[in-house]
Structure 1
Amino acid sequence: MKFQKEEIDQLERKYRLNLINSISGIKPANLIGTKSLENQENVAVFSSVVHLGSNPAQLGFIMRPQMEVPRDTYPNILDTGYYTINHISESFIKKAHFTSAKLKRGESEFDRMKLGSEYIGDFFAPFVKESQVKIGMKYQESLPLPNGCFFVIGSVELLVFPDQAINELGQLDLEGYAGVGIAGLNSYYGLQKLETFPYVREDEIPEFE
């Protein structure tokens, strides 16, 4: 199957939405937790978290355009400056997925989807108790994108994960705690480690056939 640009533009809306959202392959599956200044908790699923740098440690994610009545995540981040990123595991993918629902103002996804809310030390924003890898983030800036979305940049302030989930090189074992990825908008895939390769130096490149 082959689509030219003009053909892509003319595809049925939902078909095009699913195709373009899945064409980039497996994306990270995370829940982003926030809390308002009035202490109202919010958690929502995101598949756009990306690594920006390790020194300083920074992560970014894509926030959809904010409508006349914005969703809670972005206002909470702007108001308080803090949020959490929580890896999704196989054991709670259904609960995690349904946090994408548009709930009434003031209704918490933690409560509705029966997800545990957890606070670590004096970090302001709530973590997801069921998550094996928890990241505390401090908001830095948002960059407007051409499509009306925002690229939200934050610094890593706190990391929490099981001792057995990391090796002596600092590499996380995503398969070991049944981490998942997202393809498109609503398909979840298990993660299986296939191979680990060395840092590539030109004089160490093998002869490929």
Structure 2
Amino acid sequence: MHLTNANLADMPTRERAALVNSLSGFKSANLVGTADDDGHCNLAIMSSVVHLGSNPPLLALIIRPGGEERHTLHNLLRSGEYSINHVHADMVEAAHQTAARYPKEISEFSATGLTPCWWDGCSAPLVAEAHIKLAMALREHQQLAINGTHLIIGEVMQAEIPEHCQNEDGSLDLAAAGTVALTGLDSYHQADPFKRMAYAKPDLPPRTLP
């Protein structure tokens, strides 16, 4: 099947959304936690978190267009703080349910049975059930002219990771942490480590790590 831009434009809206959401391949599955001015908690599943840099430790997040009805966006822009929590296999059903459009006064924590937890120095709730949790501080926000989506750039201020999941070189074994991946809008995948490659050098052939 070969598709042109015109073919994509002619697709029914939901079919096009499902297809294009799959084109980027496997994505991270994260729960983003925020709180409003009155301390009411919000939780939303997102699959657009990407690494921007390590010094300072920056992660980017894309949030779809919207104003007040985008509770996550509204809260994090007001407070300047939010959390990112990896979804693992035992959380998938509850995590996916946070995509439902609950009214602002209903917390997705309560609606899905997930548990908020709090860290000193962070006003945003984290997910107690998550194995990997990050407390984030907003560093930059841009609304993109091309389609109205919001680019959120945040700095990792605190992190909780299982000690047994960190490799000797500092990287994380996300499979050991149980972190799942997401494709499209609704397909969750468990990680299966296949191969680790050594640092690529022009004078050496590709090498696998033990």
CA distance in 1, matches of 2:108, 2:72: 11
Amino acid in the other structure paired with 2:74: P
Which residue of structure 2 aligns with residue 87 of structure 1? Answer: 86
Which residue of structure 2 aligns with residue 198 of structure 1? Answer: 198
SS in 2 for 1:37: coil
Superposition pairs for residues 32-51 of structure 1, below 5 Å?
32-51=32-51
Amino acid in the other structure paired with 1:90: A
SS in 1 for 2:98: helix
Which residue of structure 1 aligns with residue 174 of structure 2? Answer: 174
Contact 2:198 2:206 in 1 (8 A): no
CA distance in 2, matches of 1:85, 1:131: 10
- Structure 2 segments unaligned to the other structure (5+ residues): none
Amino acid in the other structure paired with 2:154: G
CA distance in 1, matches of 2:121, 2:7: 53
Contact 2:85 2:126 in 1 (8 A): yes
- More displaced 10-residue stretch of structure 1: 119-128 or 33-42: 119-128
Deviation of 1:121 after TM superposition, in Å, equals 2.5
Residue deviations 1:128-186, cap 9 Å, x none?
01100001100011122110001100111001011111111111111112211110011
CA distance in 2, matches of 1:91, 1:206: 36
Amino acid in the other structure paired with 2:188: Y
CA distance in 2, matches of 1:206, 1:71: 45
Superposition pairs for residues 1-209 of structure 1, below 5 Å?
1-67=1-67, 69-145=68-144, 146-206=146-206
Deviation of 1:11 after TM superposition, in Å, equals 1.3
The TM-score, its normalising length taken from structure 2, stands at 0.95
Contact 2:197 2:206 in 1 (8 A): no
CA distance in 2, matches of 1:71, 1:160: 27
Amino acid in the other structure paired with 1:168: E
SS in 2 for 1:203: coil
Aligned pair count? 206
Query: Which 4+ residue blocks in structure 1 deviate beyond 2 angstroms?
Result: none
CA distance in 2, matches of 1:161, 1:154: 18
Contact 2:200 2:206 in 1 (8 A): no
Amino acid in the other structure paired with 2:3: F
SS in 2 for 1:175: helix
Deviation of 1:205 after TM superposition, in Å, equals 2.7
SS in 2 for 1:17: helix
Deviation of 1:206 after TM superposition, in Å, equals 4.4
Q: CA RMSD in A?
A: 1.3
CA distance in 1, matches of 2:128, 2:195: 30
The TM-score, its normalising length taken from structure 1, stands at 0.95
CA distance in 2, matches of 1:66, 1:36: 17
